[in-house]
A and B are shown apart, each in its own frame.
Chain A
Amino acid sequence: MNPPDDPVFNEPWEAQAFAMTVSLNGKGLFTWTEWAEALGAEIAVQGTRSYYECWLAALEKIVEAKQMMTGKERLARIDAWDRAARATPHGKPIELSKANSIS
Protein backbone atom coordinates (compact mmCIF):
# COMPACT_ATOMS: atom_id res chain seq x y z
CA MET A 1 0.00 0.00 0.00
CA ASN A 2 3.01 2.29 -0.22
CA PRO A 3 3.96 2.35 -3.88
CA PRO A 4 7.12 4.39 -4.32
CA ASP A 5 6.09 6.02 -7.58
CA ASP A 6 2.42 6.78 -7.08
CA PRO A 7 2.23 9.74 -9.49
CA VAL A 8 1.34 13.02 -7.83
CA PHE A 9 -0.81 13.98 -10.81
CA ASN A 10 -2.15 11.55 -13.37
CA GLU A 11 -2.71 14.13 -16.09
CA PRO A 12 -1.42 17.64 -16.75
CA TRP A 13 -4.85 19.22 -16.26
CA GLU A 14 -4.97 17.88 -12.69
CA ALA A 15 -1.70 19.62 -11.92
CA GLN A 16 -2.99 22.88 -13.45
CA ALA A 17 -6.25 22.79 -11.48
CA PHE A 18 -4.33 22.06 -8.30
CA ALA A 19 -1.80 24.85 -8.88
CA MET A 20 -4.50 27.42 -9.70
CA THR A 21 -6.21 26.70 -6.39
CA VAL A 22 -3.00 26.91 -4.37
CA SER A 23 -2.03 30.12 -6.13
CA LEU A 24 -5.42 31.85 -5.62
CA ASN A 25 -5.45 30.82 -1.95
CA GLY A 26 -1.89 32.13 -1.58
CA LYS A 27 -3.05 35.48 -2.90
CA GLY A 28 -5.83 35.58 -0.32
CA LEU A 29 -8.69 35.29 -2.81
CA PHE A 30 -10.26 32.62 -0.63
CA THR A 31 -9.31 30.91 2.62
CA TRP A 32 -8.40 27.27 2.83
CA THR A 33 -11.45 26.69 5.01
CA GLU A 34 -13.65 28.09 2.23
CA TRP A 35 -11.84 25.84 -0.23
CA ALA A 36 -12.28 22.74 1.91
CA GLU A 37 -16.00 23.47 2.14
CA ALA A 38 -16.29 23.89 -1.63
CA LEU A 39 -14.32 20.71 -2.33
CA GLY A 40 -16.15 18.79 0.39
CA ALA A 41 -19.50 19.77 -1.14
CA GLU A 42 -18.43 18.36 -4.52
CA ILE A 43 -17.01 15.20 -3.00
CA ALA A 44 -20.27 14.65 -1.12
CA VAL A 45 -21.97 14.27 -4.52
CA GLN A 46 -18.98 12.72 -6.26
CA GLY A 47 -20.82 9.99 -8.17
CA THR A 48 -18.55 8.54 -10.84
CA ARG A 49 -16.35 11.62 -11.02
CA SER A 50 -12.65 11.38 -10.19
CA TYR A 51 -11.19 13.29 -7.28
CA TYR A 52 -9.71 15.97 -9.53
CA GLU A 53 -12.97 16.34 -11.46
CA CYS A 54 -14.54 17.26 -8.12
CA TRP A 55 -11.61 19.58 -7.50
CA LEU A 56 -12.15 21.33 -10.84
CA ALA A 57 -15.91 21.70 -10.26
CA ALA A 58 -15.21 23.25 -6.84
CA LEU A 59 -12.71 25.65 -8.39
CA GLU A 60 -15.21 26.72 -11.07
CA LYS A 61 -17.78 27.45 -8.37
CA ILE A 62 -15.48 29.31 -6.01
CA VAL A 63 -14.07 31.66 -8.68
CA GLU A 64 -17.63 32.61 -9.55
CA ALA A 65 -18.71 32.93 -5.91
CA LYS A 66 -15.71 35.21 -5.31
CA GLN A 67 -16.62 37.19 -8.45
CA MET A 68 -13.35 36.59 -10.26
CA MET A 69 -15.40 35.77 -13.35
CA THR A 70 -18.99 35.11 -14.31
CA GLY A 71 -20.38 31.77 -15.36
CA LYS A 72 -21.27 33.32 -18.70
CA GLU A 73 -17.68 34.40 -19.32
CA ARG A 74 -16.41 30.99 -18.36
CA LEU A 75 -18.77 29.09 -20.65
CA ALA A 76 -18.02 31.44 -23.55
CA ARG A 77 -14.31 30.84 -23.02
CA ILE A 78 -14.75 27.07 -23.04
CA ASP A 79 -16.56 27.40 -26.34
CA ALA A 80 -13.81 29.66 -27.71
CA TRP A 81 -11.10 27.12 -26.82
CA ASP A 82 -13.14 24.34 -28.36
CA ARG A 83 -13.48 26.22 -31.65
CA ALA A 84 -9.80 27.19 -31.59
CA ALA A 85 -8.74 23.58 -31.02
CA ARG A 86 -10.88 22.24 -33.83
CA ALA A 87 -9.51 24.86 -36.22
CA THR A 88 -5.89 24.03 -35.37
CA PRO A 89 -4.05 21.43 -37.46
CA HIS A 90 -2.25 18.63 -35.63
CA GLY A 91 1.12 19.48 -34.23
CA LYS A 92 0.46 23.22 -34.06
CA PRO A 93 -0.03 24.97 -30.73
CA ILE A 94 -3.65 25.80 -30.03
CA GLU A 95 -4.10 29.51 -29.53
CA LEU A 96 -7.10 31.73 -29.09
CA SER A 97 -7.45 34.37 -31.78
CA LYS A 98 -7.95 37.92 -30.61
CA ALA A 99 -11.56 37.79 -31.66
CA ASN A 100 -12.11 34.62 -29.69
CA SER A 101 -10.55 35.79 -26.48
CA ILE A 102 -12.87 38.75 -26.09
CA SER A 103 -15.93 37.27 -24.52
Chain B
Amino acid sequence: MPHDHDHDHDHDEGSALSPIALRVKALESLLTEKGYIDPEALDAIVETYETKIGPRNGAHVVARAWSDPAYKAWLLKDATAAIASLGYTGRQGEHMVAVENTPETHNLVVCTLCSCYPWTVLGLPPVWYKAPPYRSRAVIDPRGVLAEFGVTLPETTAISVWDSTAEIRYLVLPMRPQGTEGWSEEKLARIVTRDSMIGTGLPRAAA
Protein backbone atom coordinates (compact mmCIF):
# COMPACT_ATOMS: atom_id res chain seq x y z
CA MET B 1 0.00 0.00 0.00
CA PRO B 2 1.92 2.99 -1.25
CA HIS B 3 0.17 5.76 0.63
CA ASP B 4 -0.32 6.18 4.30
CA HIS B 5 -2.58 9.13 4.02
CA ASP B 6 -6.27 8.95 3.44
CA HIS B 7 -8.48 10.91 1.09
CA ASP B 8 -8.99 14.07 3.16
CA HIS B 9 -6.10 15.95 1.66
CA ASP B 10 -5.45 19.38 3.04
CA HIS B 11 -3.90 21.09 0.07
CA ASP B 12 -2.55 24.13 1.86
CA GLU B 13 -0.50 22.63 4.61
CA GLY B 14 0.62 19.06 4.36
CA SER B 15 -1.40 15.91 4.63
CA ALA B 16 -4.23 14.88 6.88
CA LEU B 17 -5.00 11.36 7.98
CA SER B 18 -8.59 10.35 8.60
CA PRO B 19 -9.53 10.05 12.28
CA ILE B 20 -9.78 6.30 11.93
CA ALA B 21 -6.40 5.96 10.22
CA LEU B 22 -4.89 8.00 13.07
CA ARG B 23 -6.37 5.64 15.67
CA VAL B 24 -4.97 2.60 13.85
CA LYS B 25 -1.53 4.16 13.46
CA ALA B 26 -1.50 5.12 17.14
CA LEU B 27 -2.26 1.55 18.23
CA GLU B 28 0.18 0.02 15.79
CA SER B 29 3.08 2.29 16.65
CA LEU B 30 2.61 1.95 20.42
CA LEU B 31 2.17 -1.83 20.30
CA THR B 32 5.26 -2.13 18.09
CA GLU B 33 7.42 0.04 20.35
CA LYS B 34 6.36 -1.92 23.40
CA GLY B 35 7.24 -5.18 21.67
CA TYR B 36 3.74 -6.65 21.51
CA ILE B 37 3.57 -6.83 17.73
CA ASP B 38 5.93 -6.98 14.79
CA PRO B 39 4.89 -5.05 11.65
CA GLU B 40 6.29 -7.76 9.37
CA ALA B 41 4.21 -10.39 11.14
CA LEU B 42 1.14 -8.21 10.57
CA ASP B 43 1.88 -8.08 6.84
CA ALA B 44 2.17 -11.86 6.75
CA ILE B 45 -1.20 -12.25 8.49
CA VAL B 46 -2.90 -9.90 6.04
CA GLU B 47 -1.36 -11.68 3.07
CA THR B 48 -2.50 -15.06 4.36
CA TYR B 49 -6.09 -13.95 4.77
CA GLU B 50 -6.17 -12.07 1.48
CA THR B 51 -4.70 -14.81 -0.66
CA LYS B 52 -4.37 -18.21 1.00
CA ILE B 53 -7.43 -18.83 3.12
CA GLY B 54 -10.87 -19.00 1.59
CA PRO B 55 -13.91 -21.12 0.85
CA ARG B 56 -11.97 -23.37 -1.53
CA ASN B 57 -10.46 -24.97 1.57
CA GLY B 58 -13.93 -25.88 2.81
CA ALA B 59 -14.96 -27.01 -0.67
CA HIS B 60 -12.05 -29.45 -0.63
CA VAL B 61 -13.28 -30.83 2.71
CA VAL B 62 -16.84 -31.23 1.42
CA ALA B 63 -15.72 -32.85 -1.84
CA ARG B 64 -13.60 -35.32 0.08
CA ALA B 65 -16.51 -36.18 2.37
CA TRP B 66 -18.77 -36.76 -0.64
CA SER B 67 -16.17 -39.04 -2.23
CA ASP B 68 -14.92 -41.01 0.74
CA PRO B 69 -17.43 -42.48 3.25
CA ALA B 70 -14.73 -43.11 5.85
CA TYR B 71 -13.61 -39.50 5.66
CA LYS B 72 -17.21 -38.32 5.95
CA ALA B 73 -17.74 -40.43 9.08
CA TRP B 74 -14.57 -38.98 10.57
CA LEU B 75 -15.62 -35.43 9.65
CA LEU B 76 -18.97 -35.84 11.38
CA LYS B 77 -17.36 -37.40 14.44
CA ASP B 78 -14.29 -35.20 14.83
CA ALA B 79 -14.33 -32.33 12.35
CA THR B 80 -11.33 -30.59 13.87
CA ALA B 81 -9.05 -33.57 13.22
CA ALA B 82 -10.57 -34.49 9.85
CA ILE B 83 -10.15 -30.92 8.58
CA ALA B 84 -6.63 -30.63 10.01
CA SER B 85 -5.68 -33.81 8.13
CA LEU B 86 -6.12 -31.88 4.87
CA GLY B 87 -3.76 -29.18 6.13
CA TYR B 88 -6.33 -26.64 7.27
CA THR B 89 -5.41 -25.77 10.83
CA GLY B 90 -5.05 -22.75 13.00
CA ARG B 91 -6.89 -19.69 13.98
CA GLN B 92 -10.65 -19.92 14.39
CA GLY B 93 -10.64 -23.54 13.39
CA GLU B 94 -9.58 -24.97 16.72
CA HIS B 95 -12.87 -26.62 17.51
CA MET B 96 -14.85 -27.42 14.40
CA VAL B 97 -18.17 -29.21 14.16
CA ALA B 98 -19.55 -30.43 10.82
CA VAL B 99 -23.34 -30.65 10.48
CA GLU B 100 -24.81 -32.72 7.68
CA ASN B 101 -27.74 -31.65 5.54
CA THR B 102 -30.24 -34.40 4.81
CA PRO B 103 -33.67 -34.47 3.19
CA GLU B 104 -35.10 -34.19 6.72
CA THR B 105 -32.83 -31.45 8.13
CA HIS B 106 -31.19 -28.36 6.67
CA ASN B 107 -28.52 -26.64 8.74
CA LEU B 108 -27.92 -22.91 8.95
CA VAL B 109 -25.00 -21.24 10.72
CA VAL B 110 -25.00 -17.81 12.35
CA CYS B 111 -23.14 -15.91 15.05
CA THR B 112 -25.72 -13.93 16.95
CA LEU B 113 -23.12 -12.25 19.18
CA CYS B 114 -20.69 -10.95 16.58
CA SER B 115 -19.03 -12.73 13.68
CA CYS B 116 -17.55 -16.06 14.83
CA TYR B 117 -16.85 -18.06 11.68
CA PRO B 118 -14.67 -21.02 10.64
CA TRP B 119 -11.81 -19.03 9.13
CA THR B 120 -9.59 -22.01 8.32
CA VAL B 121 -12.13 -23.52 5.93
CA LEU B 122 -14.13 -20.49 4.75
CA GLY B 123 -11.81 -17.48 5.10
CA LEU B 124 -13.23 -14.32 6.64
CA PRO B 125 -17.00 -13.89 6.79
CA PRO B 126 -18.94 -12.03 4.09
CA VAL B 127 -20.48 -8.66 4.93
CA TRP B 128 -24.03 -9.95 5.33
CA TYR B 129 -22.90 -12.58 7.86
CA LYS B 130 -21.66 -9.79 10.14
CA ALA B 131 -24.66 -7.52 9.66
CA PRO B 132 -27.50 -7.14 12.19
CA PRO B 133 -30.36 -8.34 9.92
CA TYR B 134 -28.84 -11.75 9.35
CA ARG B 135 -27.63 -12.16 12.93
CA SER B 136 -31.02 -11.37 14.39
CA ARG B 137 -33.29 -13.02 11.85
CA ALA B 138 -31.48 -16.29 11.19
CA VAL B 139 -32.72 -17.59 14.53
CA ILE B 140 -36.28 -16.26 14.57
CA ASP B 141 -37.13 -16.64 10.89
CA PRO B 142 -34.69 -19.03 9.21
CA ARG B 143 -37.09 -19.96 6.45
CA GLY B 144 -37.64 -16.30 5.57
CA VAL B 145 -33.89 -15.67 5.55
CA LEU B 146 -33.32 -18.67 3.28
CA ALA B 147 -35.99 -17.43 0.90
CA GLU B 148 -34.10 -14.13 0.58
CA PHE B 149 -31.04 -16.13 -0.40
CA GLY B 150 -33.15 -17.88 -3.02
CA VAL B 151 -33.31 -21.16 -1.12
CA THR B 152 -36.73 -22.74 -0.82
CA LEU B 153 -36.92 -26.02 1.05
CA PRO B 154 -39.77 -28.51 1.22
CA GLU B 155 -42.11 -27.83 4.15
CA THR B 156 -41.16 -31.25 5.49
CA THR B 157 -37.50 -30.25 5.86
CA ALA B 158 -36.72 -28.98 9.35
CA ILE B 159 -34.17 -26.20 9.76
CA SER B 160 -31.54 -26.39 12.50
CA VAL B 161 -29.82 -23.11 13.33
CA TRP B 162 -26.35 -23.30 14.86
CA ASP B 163 -25.05 -20.30 16.80
CA SER B 164 -21.25 -20.10 16.49
CA THR B 165 -19.18 -19.01 19.44
CA ALA B 166 -15.56 -18.18 20.14
CA GLU B 167 -15.11 -21.88 21.01
CA ILE B 168 -17.19 -23.77 18.46
CA ARG B 169 -17.36 -23.17 14.69
CA TYR B 170 -19.74 -24.98 12.39
CA LEU B 171 -19.31 -26.15 8.82
CA VAL B 172 -22.37 -27.30 6.90
CA LEU B 173 -21.91 -30.45 4.85
CA PRO B 174 -24.36 -29.92 2.00
CA MET B 175 -26.15 -32.77 0.22
CA ARG B 176 -24.33 -34.05 -2.83
CA PRO B 177 -26.39 -33.07 -5.89
CA GLN B 178 -27.95 -35.66 -8.13
CA GLY B 179 -26.10 -36.30 -11.35
CA THR B 180 -22.59 -36.05 -9.90
CA GLU B 181 -21.91 -39.77 -9.73
CA GLY B 182 -18.38 -40.61 -10.74
CA TRP B 183 -17.11 -37.01 -10.50
CA SER B 184 -13.57 -36.41 -9.29
CA GLU B 185 -12.97 -34.56 -6.04
CA GLU B 186 -11.67 -31.56 -7.99
CA LYS B 187 -14.81 -31.40 -10.10
CA LEU B 188 -17.03 -31.79 -7.05
CA ALA B 189 -15.19 -29.04 -5.18
CA ARG B 190 -16.05 -26.57 -7.94
CA ILE B 191 -19.79 -26.84 -7.26
CA VAL B 192 -19.41 -26.30 -3.50
CA THR B 193 -20.14 -22.63 -2.84
CA ARG B 194 -19.26 -20.69 0.27
CA ASP B 195 -22.93 -20.12 1.05
CA SER B 196 -23.67 -23.84 0.78
CA MET B 197 -21.23 -24.39 3.65
CA ILE B 198 -22.93 -21.70 5.79
CA GLY B 199 -26.37 -23.06 4.94
CA THR B 200 -27.62 -19.99 3.09
CA GLY B 201 -27.12 -21.67 -0.26
CA LEU B 202 -27.03 -25.02 -1.99
CA PRO B 203 -24.26 -26.49 -4.14
CA ARG B 204 -24.44 -25.48 -7.80
CA ALA B 205 -26.61 -27.90 -9.70
CA ALA B 206 -24.81 -30.51 -11.71
CA ALA B 207 -25.11 -29.40 -15.31
Contacts and interface: CB of A to CB of B under 8 A. Distances in A.
A65 interface: no
Contacts of B92: 32
Interface in A7-29: 8-9, 12-13, 15-20, 22-27, 29
B24 A90 contact: no
A27 B166 contact: no
A14 B130 CA distance: 14
Given A81-B25, A90-B15, A18 B114 contact: no
A74 B25 contact: no
* Residue of B33, B36, B201 with highest tally of chain A CB at under 10 A: B36
A2 B195 contact: yes
A86 B124 contact: no
Majority-rule SS of B interface residues: loop
B33 to A, nearest CB: 7
Interface in A52-85: 53, 56, 59-60, 63, 68-69, 73-74, 77-78, 80-82, 85
Interface residues of A, number: 55
Contact of B124 (A8, A68, A82): A8
Nearest to A69: B30
A58 B192 CA distance: 34
B17 A82 contact: yes
B15 A59 contact: no
Given A81-B22, A94-B4, A74 B36 contact: no
Interface of B: 1, 4-5, 9-11, 13-17, 20-31, 33-34, 36-38, 41-43, 45-46, 49-50, 91-92, 113-116, 123-124, 126-128, 130-132, 149-150, 165-167, 193-195, 200-201
17 contacts: A1-B195, A6-B127, A8-B49, A9-B50, A19-B43, A20-B42, A24-B31, A36-B114, A40-B113, A43-B113, A68-B36, A69-B34, A74-B27, A77-B29, A85-B5, A89-B14, A94-B17
